[in-house]
């Protein structure tokens, strides 16, 4: 289990979620990527694990308009399309690669 980040910042200029990890590692994730990667029950079938969300329907300019910590293990993001059901665990965010930054 990955420990929580030292810092979490929402950069509204670049529309990215920035995370600084205790090991010195830093990551930055685009809002669009995070919305497309949501694994809530309305985005991914709970039984089959197949993505239900049509990624083409996610606006390119989608933004993160809110964020709430969930315990000591995740963050819940609120997107400009009204979607707010997914939890993004620290493990997942630490391991998620953003093609725009690699």
| pLDDT at res. 97 | 84
pLDDT tens track for 85-99:
999 999 999 999 877
Measure the N-to-C terminal CA separation of the chain; round to a whole number of Å: 24
Position 78 pLDDT exceeds 60: yes
On whether the CB atoms of residues 53 and 38 are closer than 8 A, the answer is yes
pLDDT tens track for 37-48:
999 999 999 999
7-95 belongs to CATH 3.30.2020.30: yes
Domain locations along the chain: 7-95
On whether the CB atoms of residues 85 and 38 are closer than 8 A, the answer is yes
Report d(CA 22, CA 11) in Å as an integer: 20
Which SS3 state, helix, strand or coil, does residue 64 take?
Answer: strand
Residue percentage of the chain with pLDDT more than 90: 90
| pLDDT at res. 101 | 63
Task: Give the pTM.
Answer: 0.92
For the beta carbon of residue 69, count every other beta carbon within 10 angstroms: 11
């Amino acid at each position: 289990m990955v420990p929580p980040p030292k810092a979490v910042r929402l950069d509204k200029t670049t529309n990215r979620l920035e995370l600084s990890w205790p090991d010195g590692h830093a990551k930055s994730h685009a809002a669009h990527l995070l919305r497309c990667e949501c694994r809530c029950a309305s985005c991914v079938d709970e039984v089959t694990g197949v993505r239900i969300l049509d990624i083409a329907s996610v606006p390119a300019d989608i933004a993160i308009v809110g964020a709430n910590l969930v315990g000591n293990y995740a963050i819940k993001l609120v997107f400009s399309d009204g979607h707010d059901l997914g939890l993004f665990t620290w493990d997942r965010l630490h391991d998620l690669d953003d093609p725009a930054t690699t």
